[in-house]
């Protein structure tokens, strides 16, 4: 793209030395300003030509900005052409080019250029090392870590944080913790990185211990710990920590709000979810798709579909996820025609449905018993929307056929599918057999579940109930006996209730609640009232 002669200024390059220094500085400043104002790569070549004609093709400051802006504008090849014709690139130009490669997803090129820099005896600095570490896997990370120690950068905070992050993300939590312990300043930033590493691999106890040891915690540190608890299904602990965050007068941000809303969705904590929504509005946080989608999901799953609709209608920047979440919520609440209406609106607005969209739409058809529409959607998936049916889509059709009582057709559909049925699909069909009293087909489906070794307590219980409904008590007893003999226990039922923004969880036969005596006393009173009525 650029000839060697042109890039270096050609034979008359000595003329650069005749220019007054003030003029060179002025031109440098002008070129850098012009480059920073570029909005697309088509604006760069004309400026680049002026740079070459003005003998600034070897000016490290100008070339640095040229490489940086080309990389930013997704033209890393142009940036590399510029870099290749620099006579003796310094560490800053190497770093800019390595960073450009890494940011463009060309990690191997970034790592290769770093090795060339070392080979050319250009001493890396903290920024160069941090940039190349973004491109490293665990083995390369260890290699560069050795260089870091030899070059005397072992105490560098930015390098230490990056090494800790890579070790943690790669699952080497021992070395990650060692890096953390050796850092001269173990503040909330370093602790947040380590907390994320622990949470990623399910070491929640260790993450919480580290979190408690941090003296001064900022919003990001609190949010990282709450997010780690949510990702590891510790929803009650996440909400408890959020309340502590409020007590400590630390202001949540939109990421905190989304984490808490996710926990509220899972636990059905509607009142706390409303409080978070109110906080978002009072603090005038932008109702981005990120926050809006979390609110729609929370309201839908906590039972307030009307509020979910209100949030959806008030969003300015809806995306595919927004529509997916709204359609799923409507399906969950049995508003099948409303879900279909939103789907059509989504398509009309130019959004392209994806696999999740079509699962949500098929679920809506299933919940509403809309067999013809459901089959039409399924049959048009690949032809109209270029989405190949996956196991989830096949499962929706089996569920839909089962709900409307077309059990034999559902079973034939399962047998002719191009994919193997999973236990969720077969379980749904078995449940339909129980509802519609088809014992013979129920036995066939249960047999397939037993043979696939994916059966659980639910399979035994459903088949037992099918026999009981048909008056086959011996078979019912045999199934229960077989269940006991296999050591399979029925999972206890669980329910949660929100009282004064506190989530209380109850299991069948639970006696661990601190208010158990008052609770069971009240239950006995209710039982007496029901018997008299």
Mind listing the pLDDT tens digit for each residue in 65-76?
A: 999 999 989 999
| Closest to 97 measured CA to CA, from 134, 132, 51 | 132
181 and 172 Cβ atoms separated by less than 8 Å:
no
Say what the pLDDT of residue 519 is. 76
Q: Which tokens sit at 516?
A: 């158990």
pLDDT at 301 over 80: yes
86 and 63 Cβ atoms separated by less than 8 Å:
yes
Say what the pLDDT of residue 461 is. 65
Mind listing the pLDDT tens digit for each residue in 330-383?
A: 999 999 999 999 999 999 999 999 999 999 999 999 999 899 999 999 999 999
Average pLDDT across the chain, whole number:
84
In the predicted model, what is the mean pLDDT of residues 123-128?
86
In the predicted model, what is the mean pLDDT of residues 229-257?
92
Hey, which residues does 507 pair with through a beta bridge? 494
pLDDT at 531 over 90: no
Contacts of 289 (CB under 8 A, 6+ apart): 315, 317, 318, 319, 321, 322
In the predicted model, what is the mean pLDDT of residues 478-500?
59
pLDDT band at 4 (very low <50, low <70, confident <90, very high): very low
235 and 267 Cβ atoms separated by less than 8 Å:
yes
d(Cα 445, Cα 433) in Å, to the nearest integer? 9
In the predicted model, what is the mean pLDDT of residues 275-287?
85
d(Cα 73, Cα 44) in Å, to the nearest integer? 10
Say what the pLDDT of residue 379 is. 92
pLDDT at 289 over 80: yes
In the predicted model, what is the mean pLDDT of residues 278-284?
85
Q: Which tokens sit at 403?
A: 């709900």
Say what the pLDDT of residue 153 is. 75
DSSP E strands: which ranges in 164-242? none
pLDDT at 141 over 70: yes
In the predicted model, what is the mean pLDDT of residues 415-436?
85
Which one is predicted more confidently, 61 or 422?
61
159 and 175 Cβ atoms separated by less than 8 Å:
no
Say what the pLDDT of residue 5 is. 35
pLDDT at 463 over 90: no
């Amino acid at each position: 793209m650029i000839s060697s002669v042109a890039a270096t200024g050609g034979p008359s390059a000595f003329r650069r030395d005749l220019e007054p220094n003030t003029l060179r500085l002025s031109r440098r400043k002008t070129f850098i300003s012009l480059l920073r104002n570029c909005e697309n790569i088509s604006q760069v070549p004309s400026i680049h030509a002026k740079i070459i004609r003005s003998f600034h093709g070897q000016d490290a400051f100008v070339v640095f900005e040229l490489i940086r802006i080309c990389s930013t504008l997704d033209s890393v090849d142009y940036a590399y052409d510029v870099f290749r014709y620099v006579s003796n690139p310094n560490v800053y130009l190497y770093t800019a080019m390595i960073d450009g490669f890494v940011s463009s997803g060309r990690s191997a090129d970034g790592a290769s250029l770093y090795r060339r820099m070392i080979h050319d005896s250009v001493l890396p600095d903290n920024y160069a090392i941090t940039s190349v570490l973004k491109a490293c896997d665990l083995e390369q990370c260890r290699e560069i870590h050795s260089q870091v120690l030899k070059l005397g950068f072992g105490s560098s905070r930015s390098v230490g944080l990056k090494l800790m992050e890579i070790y943690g993300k790669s699952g080497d939590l021992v070395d990650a913790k060692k890096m953390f312990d050796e850092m001269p300043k173990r503040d909330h930033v370093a602790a947040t990185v380590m907390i994320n590493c622990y949470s990623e691999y399910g070491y929640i106890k260790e993450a919480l211990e580290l979190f408690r040891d941090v003296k001064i915690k900022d919003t990001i540190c609190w949010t990282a710990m709450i997010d780690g608890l949510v990702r590891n299904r510790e929803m009650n602990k996440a909400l408890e920590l959020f309340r502590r965050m409020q007590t400590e007068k630390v202001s949540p941000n939109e990421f905190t709000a989304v984490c808490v809303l996710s926990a509220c969705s899972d636990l059905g904590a509607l009142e706390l979810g409303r409080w978070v929504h109110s906080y978002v509005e009072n603090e005038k946080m932008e109702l981005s798709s990120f926050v809006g989608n979390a609110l729609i999901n929370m309201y839908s799953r906590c039972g307030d579909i009307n509020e979910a609709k209100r949030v959806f209608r008030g969003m300015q920047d809806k995306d595919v996820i927004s529509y997916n979440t709204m359609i799923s919520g409507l399906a969950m609440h049995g508003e099948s025609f409303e879900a279909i209406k939103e789907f059509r609106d989504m398509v009309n607005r130019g959004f392209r449905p994806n696999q999740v969209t079509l699962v949500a739409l098929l679920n809506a058809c299933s919940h509403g018993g809309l067999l013809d529409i459901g089959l039409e959607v399924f049959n048009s998936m690949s032809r109209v929307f270029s989405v190949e049916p996956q196991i989830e889509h096949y499962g929706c059709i089996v569920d839909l056929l089962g709900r409307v009582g077309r059990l034999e057709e559902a079973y034939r559909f399962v047998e002719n599918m191009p994919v193997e049925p999973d236990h969720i699909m077969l379980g749904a069909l078995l449940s339909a057999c129980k509802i519609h009293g088809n014992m013979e087909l129920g036995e066939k489906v249960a047999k397939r579940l037993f043979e696939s070794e994916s059966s659980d307590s639910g399979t035994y219980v459903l088949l037992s109930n099918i026999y009981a409904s048909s008056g086959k008590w011996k078979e019912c007893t045999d199934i229960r006996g077989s269940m006991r003999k296999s050591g399979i226990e029925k999972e206890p039922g669980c329910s949660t209730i929100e009282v004064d923004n506190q989530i209380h969880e109850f299991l069948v036969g639970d006696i661990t609640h601190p208010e158990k005596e008052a609770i069971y006393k009240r239950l006995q009173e209710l039982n007496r009232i029901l018997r008299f009525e």
